[in-house]
Chains A and B, each alone.
Chain A
Amino acid sequence: MRCFAFCVLLCVPVLAAAQQTVVIHNAVVETLGPAGRLEGATVILRDGKIAAVGKDVPVPDFARVIDAQGGTLMPGIVDPYFQVAITPASSDSGERTTVIRGRPFPFGGGFGGRTASAFTRIADNFYPYDPGLKPLPRVGICRANVVSSGVGQAAVIRCTPDQPETMLVQPDGPIYASVTNSTESLDQIRSRLQRGSRGSGPAPTGSATAPAPSAALNDPWKDVLEGKKPLLVEANTAAAVVHVVKFLQAYPDVKLVLFVAGDAVPETLPLLKERKVCVVLRPRFDFLPASRDRFSAPRMLHENGVEVVFSLTARPPRPPAITPPTQQQQQEEEQQTVPGVERDFPLFPVAMQVKTGLPRQIALEALTKKPAALLGCEKTHGSIEPGKAADLLLFTGDPLDPASRLRLTIIDGRITHAQ
């Protein structure tokens, strides 16, 4: 009996390892690491991590082998600015009607239940059963930094909607804010940064001994002030960019990341260069200001030495329904796509950028390595190297070829989407 138990103990790890080991061979591998581009290479995945990458890697026994003849393997896409619409869930936020002396009076729900200056912590509001998250693996997005409108603290998720409980991987993400050029909007970040910098000063006024109740809320802002966490600001126009950058000149330690529309780039380029801002934008072609001429903002930024990061997704068109889905809705969801991303050609806009002069390597890094670095997980994500997390995309051909399809999406060593 004891002997048998010992045998079982011996066998279990072996079996488990055998189940988890996946070998992809015969693939072209865009490692985006020091190894560069490898042709006819083999990648071994074990325990959710990449165990080995190379041309002459011995294939272990008991492994699941995927023949990727003619296919290309690239690291999973990391989306640094995945917007979700968060509906308030507090008990007093919804509208309700009270009848007083026979006359109905509506109460609450005045401005959608949210004020502009409210601070939203995404991790507390994240709804992993959101049908809008389902198609993310299908378009190759393996990790996403979830933000919303207004101001708050983002959260990084891994896009495994089939395992909703384990999606939230980094609840304390960067601080995000979407601003326009108006006092109310700019004060969302200005007043908080000013408060944060006062609080960290040597002689705080008022309650010096007892920490204020809001001290916990101010913590992420302290990290922002010290440059530990980036500050993600969505600035909708060139004017908003100018106002944000000018204000942050007083805070040189703040690591500013701007999410902008491409048409705000030409006018603000000198400012962006001077500040060394990292710019997140959609791979699109925009109009030059006051003209009908199209241009590529990513290329312009890259050629002027500004770091570019791509976000494929667009703002969600409507808040997701949180009612239980009907069967018909479920069928629709299977057809549903990520807003802003073509279902079958997710990388087509990036391919267009490469076709019009953005270097291929820069474009691929802007999808994977750069956003991973932005979110502070460059040690584990963003490239195909031994020891890193096994977030991989296998395309039937070159990822930037419109004729190729996304065959497999592997997140943490597990096939999350297969076509």
Chain B
Amino acid sequence: MRSDRPILGLAFLMMMASLLVAEENKDSQSAKPTSPPIAIVGGDVYTVSHGVIPRGTVLIQDGKIAAVGKDVAIPENALRIEAAGKCVTPGFVAISASNVGIRTGTGARGRTGEPAPPQGVTGRVVDAINPYDRNILFCLASGITTACVEVSGGGTGRFGRDALDLEELDETNVCPCCGMTYLPLEPITAPNPTERTPRRHAVLRMTFGELDRMLVKESPFYHLPAGAFAGAFNKHQWRETIKRAKEQVRDRNEGEDEGGFGGFGGGFGRRVPEEVVQLVEKKIPLRTDAASVEQIRTALALAKELGYAVILEGVHEAWLIPEELKEAQAQVILTPRSRRRPQLGKEDSTGSSIETAGILERTGVPFAVATLGNSVNLDGIPGRDLTSLMLEAAFAVRGGCSDDTALAAITINPARMLGLDKRIGSIEIGKDADLLILTGPPLDYHSHVDKALVGGKVYYDRVRENIYPDLPNRPKSTTQTKR
């Protein structure tokens, strides 16, 4: 009997689809082809942009939000979704995701027993999309409706070393054998100036089963590891790259024929990637990781000098220099639970702090929250993977920031980083109807996603999917406070 149910469900879906088609055909004979509007009624609407509307209504027309408020006239033919006692929020935006909708080799660190797929997508992103990837449903079940998915991992350079290796050499170190401190040393040979491979990303909507609607945009930022700016050689090369990109932009604006980059003018005699040109034109920001104060300052100084916007992630020591981040108008990606050990004897001025989120909020530095792991991993340590995005934002509240800022850190702030803040990230008229109906307030670990809508269509229903089941006889906790 149980095995029949999905088939029945499928049949039902197809019946519904045929009904919808019939409906559309009927409408298409009239002047304007429209699908019936959807009204989400009775829930507390967390708009993110305009506060909370208790027991409000969200009206959806043609995949967009048509009206929000307390007294919204609901059309006769509207499909009503009752959300009384529940909360309506914008769909969450995962700024760091991998292995969702696209199978790549990166980000599958903790998984075992699965043959390693080839590293990265070598061809076009749209050809690599798998609309039936189960991870899409897991993302929807944890509230993510848009994800910035890593398409191919970048190289950290020829030696595969991080920026840490070089920057840490400036500090006084303790010998692991004798415990004596030793003076900073220059590396005997500086690393060769190798061009770092940028990480490629693509923004995907979690429209399970619908290939055509998934890809939103490619290359929302130019992503390089911190190692790309470490050391004099790398800095020089990055400056040269930017210089060439600026020349290319200038030539293009002057209408000169492109392609005359042979010879000495271009340094290496080849064109810079299109993303770098967009970076120079300030169409996309640079994304890089910068854990220590040194790295943050390097990234900010280079951004100021060369003139591009910057997104910093993994900013463990940002709590020490929030004003500098604010002044540089940097955007920040934060993982509240990620830790960096302070150096011996410098506990007050190094290492991470749980209060980073609060400090950044008070200073006015916008930040997005990312999870500890960026793929869906159901057999690792629970509460670390992509499905714990809401929980991770709650840890930002633990670190002293307000609920509103923590919610913005998984909705409008990452949307802005992706250049999609006009389309998603808050409940406003005209935006995409990417909405969640939560069983309780967001950031509460009791809350589950009841329904997830992407573009005005329900792609996840907790009753239908067997992911986070609503157990009927679960005992009510006596310590749970009533809200």
Contacts and interface: CB of A to CB of B under 8 A. Distances in A.
Contacts of A300: 7
Q: Which 4 A-B pairs have the closest CB atoms?
A: A183-B123, A239-B130, A293-B3, A183-B127
A143 B466 CA distance: 45
Interface of A, secondary structure class, is: helix
B123 A267 contact: no
B278 to A, nearest CB: 22
A289 B14 CA distance: 17
Given A239-B130, A288-B6, A182 B209 contact: no
Contacts of B212: 246
Contacts of B131: 239, 242
B132 A183 contact: no
Interface of A: 181-184, 186-187, 237-239, 242-243, 246, 266-267, 269-270, 288-291, 293-295, 300
Given A182-B123, A290-B134, 8 more contacts: A181-B130, A182-B127, A183-B128, A238-B132, A239-B130, A242-B132, A267-B209, A291-B466
B124 A295 contact: no
B10 interface: yes
B129 interface: yes
A293 B127 contact: no
Contacts of A267: 132, 209
Contacts of A246: 211-212
Nearest to B210: A242
B127 A269 contact: no
B121 interface: yes
Nearest to B10: A266
Contacts of A238: 130, 132
B130 A269 contact: no
24 contacts: A181-B127, A181-B128, A181-B130, A182-B121, A182-B127, A183-B122, A183-B123, A183-B128, A184-B122, A186-B127, A238-B130, A239-B129, A243-B127, A246-B212, A266-B6, A266-B10, A267-B132, A269-B14, A288-B3, A288-B6, A289-B132, A290-B134, A291-B6, A300-B7
Contacts of A266: 6-7, 10
Contacts, number: 60
Interface in B128-165: 128-134, 137
B387 to A, nearest CB: 15
Contacts of B10: 266, 269
A293 B121 CA distance: 32
B128 to A, nearest CB: 6
Contacts of B209: 267
Nearest to A242: B211
Nearest to B102: A181
A288 B17 CA distance: 21
B26 interface: no
Contacts of B50: none
Contacts of B127: 181-183, 186, 243
B2 interface: yes
Interface string B1-16: 0110011001000100
Given A182-B127, A182-B128, A242-B211, A295 B134 contact: no
Contacts of B211: 239, 242-243, 246
A190 to B, nearest CB: 9
- Most interface-central of B121, B131, B466 (chain A CB within 10 A): B131
